[in-house]
Structures are given as structure tokens and as C-alpha cells.
Amino acid sequence: RKEVEQDPGPFNVPEGATVAFNCTYSNSASQSFFWYRQDCRKEPKLLMSVYSSGNEDGRFTAQLNRASQYISLLIRDSKLSDSATYLCVVTRYNFNKFYFGSGTKLNVKP
């Protein structure tokens, strides 16, 4: 079973829509969680870290559900500029690697 799994999409949504992605992780010892954004042919960039209490940054809200082993990303009032691939990333305590999902592609259309 993969360490991190994501729905590859694409999610095609109109401007102004609300869209949500989920990501599941297989190891209950996973410790830190992140959402990264990757634009076409560019490097991944941190969108937000995901804390146990959940966190919000403007139109973006991330939540962690340890019991069901998933994290979510909610984007409100989608903009054309939100079109990208969103990567779910997980780390484990005392493991030196980051585990990446293969990404969920979002297309926001006018």
C-alpha cells in the first residue's frame, strides 16, 4: 500500500467555486503533514502545514483527521490562479524522508 494516496483528478471547477481534496496516509505514526502546490514545469512550493487543530490561511483551510488517517484541503472562492497540482506530503517521527502523494490536479475555469 502506498504511504500517501491522493485522487489524481482533474477537478474542473468554475471560478468562485469551493473545492475540497482529501489525502489518506497509511502509517499511523505519521507526524507532520503539509500541502504543497506545484505549477506546471515548476518546483513544488509549500502552501500550508497542517496542524492537529486545523489551520486556515485566507481562502485555504487544511484539516487533519488522525483517527481516519486523512488530511483535507478546502479552497473557497476559487481563482483562475489556483489552477495547479496539489501535493499531499507526510513525514514520520525519526524518519528522514518526506512521503509525497502523486498530486491532485485542479483546473479553475472562467
Partner 1 sequence: NAGVTQTPKFRILKIGQSMTLQCAQDMNHNYMYWYRQDPGMGLKLIYYSVGAGITDKGEVPNGYNVSRSTTEDFPLRLELAAPSQTSVYFCASSVGTSGLLGEQFFGPGTRLTVL
# chain residues binding partner 1, by CB under 8 A? 22
Query: Least distance from C-beta 77 to partner 1, angstroms?
Result: 26
Binding mask 26-65 for partner 1 (x = CB under 8 A): -----xx-x------xxxxxx--x----------------
Torsion from C-alpha of 67, 71, 75, 81, nearest 10 degrees = 180
Is 86 among the residues that bind partner 1 (CB under 8 A)? Answer: no
Residue closer to partner 1 by CB (options 54, 76) is 54
Q: 37: closest CA among 46, 25, 50?
A: 46
Is 89 among the residues that bind partner 1 (CB under 8 A)? Answer: yes
Rounded Cα distance between 52 and 17, Å, is: 26
Select the span of 9-17, 19-27, 63-71, 85-93 touching partner 1 (CB under 8 A): 85-93
Is residue 85 within a helix (H) or strand (E), and if so which, with residue range? strand 84-92
Is 91 among the residues that bind partner 1 (CB under 8 A)? Answer: yes
Rounded Cα distance between 104 and 96, Å, is: 24
What lies within 8 Å, CB to CB, of 96 at 6+ separation is none
Q: Which residues bind partner 1 (CB under 8 A)?
A: 31-32, 34, 41-46, 49, 87, 89, 91, 93-94, 96-98, 100-103
